[in-house]
Amino acid sequence: MGGLLEAGARVTIVSPTITERLREWIGEGRCRHLVREYRSGDVRGRTLVLVATGDARLTARVHRDARRARVLVNAADDLDHCDFFLPAALRRGRLVVAVSTGGASPTLARVVRDELEPLVPESYGLLLDVVAAVRARARQGPAPVPAERWRGVIDARLRALVAEGQVEEARALLWARLVG
C-alpha cells in the first residue's frame, strides 16, 4: 500500500484491527480508517480494492461486490479473486524497477527486488533527472536526436559524475555526447 500512498492515492482502510504500520500512516493523516467489519457498499465509488483478510469467504464476497460495482480487486494470496497484481517495486526517485510473478509468489518478487536493490544505486534517481532534463532540451531543438545516438551515452563515467554530485558536469557531458 505504500506505493499507492506515494502515488497520491486516497486510501480508506476498513477493518476492526490494523497493523502498526497502518496505524502510523493513519496517524500521519496519509489514509483513513473505518474501524468496523466490511459492508457490501464499501466498494462503491472506489477505483481499486485491496483485500487482505485471510478469510476466503469474505474475500470472495468483496470480489463479487467489487465486480458488480465495476471496481478492480487485488486479493492477497487468492489468485482467483485478483483482477491485477501488485509488483514488488524498487524506487529511486522517479525511477521504478518492478518485479512481478503474476501473483504466483509475492514473496519471491520481494526476494528478487531485494537482490536487485544493491545493483541500483540511490544516485540513479538523480541520474534519471539529469537524463530527463537533457532529453527535454534535445526535444526542443530543430531536429530530434536519433535513438541510436542515445545508446551507450549513459555509461560508467556519466553515472560516476552523478553519484559524486556533479550534476551540471553530467548534463554537459550528456549534451555534448548527444549533439556535439
The model's pLDDT over 48-101, given as tens digits with 9 standing for 90+, comes to 999 998 899 999 999 999 999 999 999 988 889 999 988 999 999 999 999 999
The residues of the chain that CATH labels 3.30.160.110 are: 85-120
Q: What is the pTM for the complete model shown? A: 0.76
Query: Per DSSP, what are the bridge partners of residue 89?
Result: 98
81 SS3 class? helix
Bin 128: left if φ > 0, else alpha if -120 < ψ < 50, else beta.
alpha
Angle between helices 167-179 and 123-139 (to 10 degrees): 40
* The CATH classification of domain 85-120, taken from the options 3.40.190.10, 3.30.160.110, 3.40.50.2300, 3.40.50.300: 3.30.160.110
Task: State which H helix or E strand residue 61 sits in.
Answer: helix 56-68
